[in-house]
Amino acid sequence: MTRPAYARIDLGALRHNLGRVRQAAPASRVIAVIKANAYGHGLVTVAQALDTADAFGVVGLEEAVSLREAGCDRRIVLLEGLFSSDDIALVCGYRLDPVIHSDHQLELLEQAGLSRPVDVWMKLDTGMHRLGFAPERFEQVLARLRALPRIGTVRYLTHFACADEADPASTEQQIATFRTALDGKPGECSLANSAAVLAWPAAHADWVRPGIMLYGASPTAARSAAELDLKPVMTLCSELIAVAARRKGDAVGYGGDWRCPQDMLVGVAAIGYGDGYPRHAPAGTPVLVNGRRAALAGRVSMDMICIDLHDQPDARVGDEVILWGDALPVDEIAAAAGTIAYELLSGLSQRVSYTCR
């Protein structure tokens, strides 16, 4: 018997969410961001389900190679570009589009040379101050790129620091800085992550780069996924593997600092931080048992959680437990655990098995 810790992936919901991207940014092409194993949803499965996307964005070269070996013929953008000169042969051999964000990467290209034409994306740092060239270097960097033998099309991108926030000043500034750097020069551009797809039409440009919204989580604390008509793609499930009657005052779990407020049932589900369920989710964090809300009791263990079943006296071993997904937004669990849905989704461990529908 397999241990009951599995992620159900709803491919229909995934396609629905891509439809929401198209609806929000109808004039733009879509780079579906499927880095980090498609935010924990399964790289190749997700790419195959999103076969109407115009391109895919990944970070690991290994991910790009897996996509090509699985038969993916779309444009694949390497969002962090090259890490070493060894990567250049892969970029050429597998027809990948690297982002070029630093002098180090320019030097790698200048030293190694390209064996076939490669399209690249020049990244400008318009205010996030993480990766990218300073905007005033645009002309100089473009000249160096164009001087490379066999360079193909050069496209341009930047990334927003605060597109999910209510205060628009920072994003307005980043858009203006990007436009000023390009100064009307021809060439395709990409600025928008999920938050900007939904909130910043002025940033849609030629290509949008949604990630989190494809998976049905909200890119902004201001609005829920349901309000944005995004459908959860992953439902993380387990089962009750034990149910026991406890007495008022009984301590439950590590530390013994949570006590039963009354005589009641306490259940145990076979999922814990070793599976990617957040250890920081406090007692009281909601779970669904047979579709009804219940709450964590005591601390999250590596392999298990305990569940307060005081109002579910009929619960028994084998009953379904949902940790997030259908009817229990991952954003709500993330907030309870003091993090964001991105971390929960991408942090599932190898131990979780996957089923698709």
Ligand X SMILES: *Cc1c(COP(=O)(O)O)cnc(C)c1O
What share of residues in the chain are helix, strand, coil (percent, to 5)? 30, 25, 45
Tell me the window of 204-212, 284-292, 293-301, 314-322 that interacts with ligand X (CB under 6 A). 204-212
20 part of the interface to ligand X, by CB under 6 A: no
Identified catalytic residue from 6, 35, 277, 342: 35
193 part of the interface to ligand X, by CB under 6 A: yes
Pick between residue 170 and residue 301 the one whose CB is nearest to ligand X.
Answer: 170
35 belongs to the catalytic site: yes
Pick between residue 174 and residue 194 the one whose CB is nearest to ligand X.
Answer: 194
33 part of the interface to ligand X, by CB under 6 A: yes
219 part of the interface to ligand X, by CB under 6 A: yes
Q: Integer distance in angstroms from the first to the last C-alpha of the chain? A: 21
Pick between residue 104 and residue 293 the one whose CB is nearest to ligand X.
Answer: 104
Pick between residue 58 and residue 337 the one whose CB is nearest to ligand X.
Answer: 58
Find the shortest distance in angstroms from Cβ 35 to ligand X: 6
Pick between residue 170 and residue 290 the one whose CB is nearest to ligand X.
Answer: 170
Find the shortest distance in angstroms from Cβ 226 to ligand X: 18
341 part of the interface to ligand X, by CB under 6 A: no
**Residue (of 112, 18, 99, 32) closest to 61 by Cα position:** 99
232 part of the interface to ligand X, by CB under 6 A: no
Q: Specify whether the CB–CB gap between 24 and 197 falls below 8 A.
A: yes
Tell me the window of 8-16, 61-69, 205-213, 225-233 that interacts with ligand X (CB under 6 A). 205-213
209 part of the interface to ligand X, by CB under 6 A: yes
Tell me the window of 41-49, 211-219, 260-268, 326-334 that interacts with ligand X (CB under 6 A). 211-219
Which three-class secondary structure state does DSSP give residue 134? Answer: coil
- 50-83 as b/e: b if 16+ CB within 10 A: beebebbbbbbbebbbbbbeeebebbbbbbbbbe
Find the shortest distance in angstroms from Cβ 212 to ligand X: 4
211 part of the interface to ligand X, by CB under 6 A: yes
Pick between residue 129 and residue 357 the one whose CB is nearest to ligand X.
Answer: 129
267 part of the interface to ligand X, by CB under 6 A: no
DSSP 179-192: HHHHTT--S-EE--
254 belongs to the catalytic site: yes
Which tokens belong to 78? 């390497």
Which tokens belong to 172? 């307005």
Rounded to 5 degrees, what are φ and ψ at 152?
-95, -135
Find the shortest distance in angstroms from Cβ 195 to ligand X: 6
DSSP state of 226: T
Binding positions for ligand X, 43-102, rule CB under 6 A: 79
CA quadruple 34, 36, 38, 42: dihedral positive or negative? Answer: positive
Radius of gyration, CA atoms only, the chain = 23
Tokens 């609806």 found at: 23
Triad 191, 195, 199: Cα angle to 5° = 90
Binding positions for ligand X, 152-191, rule CB under 6 A: 159
Which three-class secondary structure state does DSSP give residue 207? Answer: strand
Residues at the interface with ligand X (CB under 6 A)? 33, 35, 79, 159, 193-194, 209-212, 219
Active site residues: 35, 254
